[in-house]
Structure 1
């Protein structure tokens, strides 16, 4: 397992998955400081589902699993607020949290192992077909797909978990699963 690291957290009422895109509007000072620090260091920050609390105001209680977010693009919206386009990268498990004076939650995290490059098993072929149907409905521009990606268990699982109409708690349960085939089994049970 990779070693522990301290990571600033951005708790949200959503689950960011590896490879998924997320747009954020930033207006609180603690998160403006977080973005400035990430820009200076070239590092990302953690996105975790909120278990208790709200996105703004008092620090929220984050879930114990999350995904590192890296900033792909930023702009200022018509309302003058900073907008970010993020991409989910590595998964992590929170070991301990602290709250800074400015209300920013930071965590000692343990990085989860990267997904193996496993081929999709025959029993999960239906999920690849479902994913192809969903991608056709939303259009290819939303998620870039190469032909070989539909054969990779981890990629199919992450994209399905991103696109299926499941709850945030269900998405979090998928994020917590280390084995890509077990993730696909969980998705099969959710759509059954």
Structure 2
């Protein structure tokens, strides 16, 4: 792939995940406008060192694996502020990155194969059931589609989809989430999520 603009964040975006962002820094306002104008995606990478808002002399360290983000909704409620909704599409490995004068990172990336649609094994069915319970609880509270933390269709029979949604919901450190994102085997990712849920007492 050609070099793409990068958006380092203190979070990890997973394929099919939703990501709302408020954009106010000039470097990202320009990037978002170009992405919208040309229907292009940008890369979300974990920020392992430094802060999201640029500061003079700050050192930033980027994660080695990220996810492409497609802007699906946007608005500009006032000058110098944009609100966007993004959808994670494909994982990538960051081969190299360079920061421009305006602070925007550009990265050479290599796309990672998408998860195969592997059924949830019987041993991990409790993980899918627990996620289904979360979705039902949110629906019973009449949470709107726009505010749901995951987007339909709910593929509760698919290992990678279930694992990714739990990775987004669980309060775990960014480096740990990046390791889960980098895991190529969706069933193994689901097993690791099961361990985390068990440790947190979230599985019956």
TM-score of the aligned structures, taking structure 2 as reference length: 0.85
* Alpha-carbon distance in structure 1 between the residues aligned to 2:165 and 2:82: 27
Match of 1:104 in 2: 104
Number of residue pairs aligned between Structure 1 and Structure 2 = 188
What pairs up with 1:81-96 in 2 under 5 angstroms?
81-96=81-96
Match of 2:21 in 1: 24
Contact 1:134 1:163 in 2 (8 A): no
What pairs up with 1:1-192 in 2 under 5 angstroms?
4-58=1-55, 60-77=60-77, 81-139=81-139, 141=145, 142=148, 143-146=150-153, 149-192=155-198
After the TM superposition, which of the residue ranges 105-114 and 78-87 deviates more from structure 2?
78-87
Contact 2:118 2:158 in 1 (8 A): yes
* Alpha-carbon distance in structure 1 between the residues aligned to 2:15 and 2:138: 19
* Alpha-carbon distance in structure 2 between the residues aligned to 1:144 and 1:104: 29
Label 1:95 to 1:113 Cα distance change in 2 as closer, same or farther (>3 A): same
* Alpha-carbon distance in structure 2 between the residues aligned to 1:146 and 1:69: 19
Contact 1:17 1:88 in 2 (8 A): yes
Structure 1 unaligned spans of 5+ = none
* Alpha-carbon distance in structure 1 between the residues aligned to 2:152 and 2:11: 24
Contact 1:12 1:49 in 2 (8 A): yes
* Alpha-carbon distance in structure 2 between the residues aligned to 1:47 and 1:70: 10
* Alpha-carbon distance in structure 2 between the residues aligned to 1:146 and 1:56: 34
After the TM superposition, which of the residue ranges 23-32 and 138-147 deviates more from structure 2?
138-147
Shift in Å, 1:76:
2.2
* Alpha-carbon distance in structure 2 between the residues aligned to 1:144 and 1:68: 17
* Alpha-carbon distance in structure 2 between the residues aligned to 1:60 and 1:31: 16
User: What do you get for the CA RMSD once the two structures are aligned?
Assistant: 1.9
Runs ≥4 in structure 1, deviation > 3 angstroms?
Answer: 77-80, 143-147
* Alpha-carbon distance in structure 2 between the residues aligned to 1:11 and 1:182: 26
SS of aligned partner of 1:92: strand
